[in-house]
Amino acid sequence: MNLEAINTELKTKTPKEIVQWAIAHSKKPIVTTNFRPYEATILNVATQVKKDIKVIWCDTGYNTPNTYYHAKELIKQLNLNIKLYTPKETKAYRDVILGIPQINDPKHVVFTEQVKLEPFRRAMSEHAPDVWFTNLRKGQTAFRDSIDIVSQGKDGVLKVSPFYNWTDKELEVYLVENNLPNEFKYFDPTKQLENRECGLHA
């Protein structure tokens, strides 16, 4: 697969056209979400093309009340086919045994494995997608600057980011035009810093 040629072709396409291209080349597509800011855009465009697409939500258990209400609203508005994955350990147990370690604490690796990486691997194993839609965008992290609209992981799964070249301002216009909600009170306990990669993508 010539990713360079594909990305050159898709660079001038709209997010919906990019999703349509990917769906046409897919047998088992999924979209992942954590209901962070601007996630409504990728969920909207993915479900416009394939209404019943599986929406993988790996809930760390540490989301803000605002995020949970936002998730409930979007799930209802877009009639999302949610597949929910949570850590095997409860948050109450982890709060006592581990807490939320700082990034430079060796226990942070264990924490990230428990709340994010293991549930994600479990989801990917159970659904075995060939195309994975995500809302990665250029300018978010150094790693994300190094990929493109379409990239391919070591597992062979095509990762498609339809809004890769969009700015926050452009996403805000999209949300208004499509009557979609947004929510900024979001917390990722594994990142703690906005420009830090979460571990699922790098």
pLDDT in tens, 48-79: 999 999 999 999 999 999 999 999 999 999 99
Assigned domain for 163 exists: yes
The angle at the Cα of 138, spanning 135 to 144, to the nearest 5 degrees, equals 80
Assigned domain for 132 exists: yes
Of 104, 92, 66, the closest CA to residue 192 belongs to: 104
Confidence of residue 138 (pLDDT cuts 50, 70, 90): confident
DSSP 189: T
Q: Which domain does 146 fall in, by range?
A: 3-177
Overall average pLDDT of the 168-192 stretch? 92
Assigned domain for 183 exists: no
Confidence of residue 35 (pLDDT cuts 50, 70, 90): very high
Assigned domain for 197 exists: no
Confidence of residue 145 (pLDDT cuts 50, 70, 90): low
The residue to which tokens 């996630």 are assigned: 39
Residue 196 main-chain phi, psi, to 5 deg? -95, 135
Assigned domain for 27 exists: yes
The residue to which tokens 């010539």 are assigned: 2
Residue 112 belongs to domain with CATH number: 3.40.50.620
The residue to which tokens 């060796």 are assigned: 106
Assigned domain for 192 exists: no
Could you tell me the pTM of the whole model?
A: 0.89
* Sequence-ordered list of residues with C-beta below 8 angstroms from that of 13, at least 6 positions apart, any chain: 21
| Total domains present in the chain | 1
Give the integer Cα–Cα distance in Å for 75 and 87: 21
Give the integer Cα–Cα distance in Å for 161 and 56: 15
Assigned domain for 200 exists: no
Assigned domain for 100 exists: yes
Q: Which residues of 105-123 are buried (b: 16+ CB within 10 A; e: fewer)?
A: eeebeebbebbbbbbbeeb
Residue 48 main-chain phi, psi, to 5 deg? -65, -40
Contact status, residue 55 vs residue 28, Cβ threshold 8 Å: no
